[in-house]
Structure 1
Amino acid sequence: MPGKTHHQLQFTPERHDPWARREAWRKHAIFSNRTIFRNMFPGLGIATVAFAAYLGVEYVTTPAAKKGEKH
């Protein structure tokens, strides 16, 4: 390109995409698959821990059933 120096050509953008701003939301972190999967079941982790604690407490506090005992 006549009239432009190597330094000017080095820092010029290759192409200008007029739709880049409209498509930028697709690359935003909130729309990633990891974020969507994490937010799909927001209370699942806490509920699992609470249920496991409940089962542990119930196992420790209830008396063991006798083998010959029926309902």
Structure 2
Amino acid sequence: HGARLEAGQSVELPEAPYLHLFVPRGEVVLEGAGPLHEGDAVNRTASGGQRVTATAPAEILVWEMHAGLAAA
């Protein structure tokens, strides 16, 4: 998933067992995690429904994964 947000805009993250959020541009606040800046990334497990709010024009990329890596 991807989104371009203007300052003050919010989106809700999808529900997923594993989730990766990357901020390639701008600044956002992730509910429950705090501020994230350009280049920051967050990995979450059993997450979803948290809001991401831009504090400046921003782009976010989100990967949702529904299976973990198998043990070798």
Instruction: Tell me the TM-score normalized by structure 1.
Output: 0.16
Instruction: Tell me the TM-score normalized by structure 2.
Output: 0.16
Q: Which has the higher contact order (CA 8 A, sep 6+)?
A: 2
Which is greater in Rg?
1
Richer in helix (by share): 1
